[in-house]
Amino acid sequence: MKDLVEFTIDNLLQQERMQQPAQVLQTQESGKKFRQVMTKLPDHAVLHDVGPEMQPAIKVKDEALWKTSKQLEAIFVQQMMTEMRKTISKSEFMPSGFAEDVHGSMMDEAIAQASVKQSSFGIAESIYRQLESAQGNVNRQVTAQEISQTADNLKMVNDLSLEARKHAH
């Protein structure tokens, strides 16, 4: 099922890319209207684009953390798909049951995995940045503890050497 969904999404994206040149020509013909719309958009609107052209805006240093972030994004998208499916009214035309629910769940999972693989919603980047900074804070805390322990050890050695000197005289 996952392969079928990925294949279908790939085909849709290819069709969309092939239609883009025609859309560009139409946009150029109505260029004045397009420029008017684009000048009215706030600067941050471009940052909220979701599509296959979007690359992660972050430099991935930890591949395992990045993979986990993408998996969490897929889970979020799957939950979103499941909740959206609940809003569709059930038809009495065809009987439904457990198998249909399982199929719907599997389809939601496959769509979520494929969509996260093809493009990003920005959730993975946010999760990665949060976890990376938290991981950095933990590393800094460990380093601070090590420095504190080293300083305590040096102070103890210094105190012991002073005591030894006092007793030696």
Output the pLDDT for position 4. Answer: 74
Q: Among 101, 98, 75, which Cα is nearest to 88's?
A: 101
| C-alpha to C-alpha distance for 158 and 150, rounded to whole angstroms | 12
Output the pLDDT for position 30. Answer: 57
| Exposure letters 134-149 (e unless 16+ CB within 10 A, then b) | eeeeeeeeeeeeeeee
Output the pLDDT for position 79. Answer: 92
Residue 37 pLDDT more than 70?
Answer: no
| C-alpha to C-alpha distance for 95 and 49, rounded to whole angstroms | 40
Tokens standing for residue 131 = 């976890």
